Amino acid sequence: MLMPDKYNPEEPLVMHVDLNSAFASTEQQARPLLRGRPVAVVNRRVKNTCIVTASYEAKALGVKVGMKLLEAERLVPGLVAIESDPAKYRYVYRKLMAILNSYSPHVVMKSIDEGVMDFHHLPAGRSLIDIGYEVKQRLRDEVGSAMRCNVGIGTNRFLAKTAAGLHKPDGLDVMAADNLRDTYATMKLTDLTGIAEHLQRRLNGVGIYTPLQFLDADVVTLEKVVFKGIVGRQWFERLRGYEVDDRPIVTKRVGRQYVLENRNLSRVEIASRLHNLCESVGARLRGQDKAARGVYVYTRTIAGRFWHDTYMSQLPFYTDRTINSLAQNLFAGAPDDIREIGVHCYELSDNNNDQLSLFGDELAREQQLSGAIDAINQRFGERTVHSADTLATDRFLKVKIPFGSTRYL
């Protein structure tokens, strides 16, 4: 049973590895003449796009992630903007994963640029600090000399990640019971992973303004007043170094969205882009051997108005044709002046092709068609075979790297 005022006394055995400005560092690694220069990675070659990652040189000059490129270029005239190159980042991700897997069988990649190694249940051996420095060196040797990473070591995932953020770039820190209070004393509430402005306001509402006050808050206040549920107790334990975040990630939905390249597109042109998204969602769904029962379509207008609609089917589906047909029906009810569209499939289940159906022949034909198209696309490259009405959309709808998910890497 957890002692309320005690911090987890065990040896820190969780290591968090976080690539520094991952996409920008990878670009600087690939293109030596960009090293030491302010670099911003963007998803599109247009001025009103947002910055996905900035190099440390750009960050030092005030460029922030999420900033409009136009604004950043005004701030830093020599800024070099580069369109993201997912293949390169996937390669670095796989290299990082291979390095981490060589130290522990318990590795979870939290996103494309960070992974967690758990050394519990492994025989005691080398110190984790030695391993941390070796990971840094191997990253430089096996990927490139410009690659740097932060390493954090803690008694749980939260402390390891917090430690990894203490000295950027290229830091290595340990957070455990003996330095917990001293470390929290140097931080702001929003420095804690999971505490954004709205949670900060809630904490401020009960007189908590610093991580130390958060640490000293009693569990009843956190559970009953601040978080109104079990999340309060989880924060109480998390801050003390007890593990509450070791949960498997379950895929609940598969989807894609797209900000239109031009705000004057006709309804038919937008529908063809939606069709392209549906094909991509279908491929991802089948790639995970899943079927869905629900389709969700949303749009955002130029004025910022949000619209969405859903459809729940009695039978599971997974073919592009069905997903597109359901999504297009929903899309017919969407308002005009659209700026962004998205489609998601939800209520996922394992795809069981063998189940008998009243519509057996038709379903079997559709399954075979999807299987044949997927096989051709896997052999000759993505979108070798696709619907004719999406022919002109590929140069706009390029697949980009999603943050926070490693499902499709």
Partner 1 sequence: MNDEIFLNERIKVVAAFGEGLNPCRPVKFKRSNAREVVISEIGLVHPVGHGKRMVHVFDVTDGSADYRIELDAERLTWRLTREADHVDA
Cα distance from N-terminal residue to C-terminal residue, the chain = 39
Burial class (CB in 10 A: 0-12, 13-18, 19+), 149: buried
Select from 66, 84, 98 the least CA-distant residue to 22. Answer: 84
Q: Return phi, psi of residue 396, to 5°.
A: -95, -45
Q: Is 48 helix (H, G, I), strand (E, B) or coil?
A: coil
Minimum CB–partner distance for residue 115 and partner 1 (Å)? 19
- In sequence order, what are the beta bridge partners of 299? 307, 341
Minimum Å distance from CB 47 to partner 1?
7
Nearer to partner 1, 35 or 293 (CB): 35
Token digits of residue 342 = 């998205």
Are the C-beta atoms of 341 and 393 separated by less than 8 Å?
no
Nearer to partner 1, 142 or 394 (CB): 142
Question: Which chain residues interact with partner 1 by CB under 8 A?
Answer: 26, 29-34, 37, 45, 47, 69, 73, 78, 80-83, 87-88, 91-92, 141-144, 377-381, 384
- Please state, in angstroms and rounded to a whole number, the distance separating the CA atoms of residues 317 and 295: 10
21 within 8 A of 56, measured Cβ to Cβ: yes
194, 162 Cβ separation under 8 angstroms: no
Nearer residue to partner 1 within complex by CB, 80 or 345: 80
CB of 29 to partner 1, least distance (A): 5
Please give the radius of gyration of the chain, using alpha carbons only, rounded to the nearest integer.
24
Nearer to partner 1, 25 or 162 (CB): 25
Query: Minimal distance in Å, beta carbon 71 to partner 1?
Result: 13
Distance CA 385, CA 147 (A): 37
Among residues 33 and 124, whose Cβ is nearest to partner 1? 33
Q: Nearest distance from residue 88's CB to partner 1, in Å?
A: 6
Beta carbon of residue 407, minimum distance to partner 1 (angstroms, whole number): 18
Considering beta carbons, is residue 121 or 379 the nearer one to partner 1?
379
Residue 392: closest CA among 218, 290, 272: 272
> Which is closer to partner 1, CB of 26 or CB of 272?
26
169, exposed or middle or buried, with CB in 10 Å at 0-12, 13-18, 19+? middle
Q: To the nearest whole angstrom, how small is the minimum distance from the Cβ of residue 43 to partner 1?
A: 12
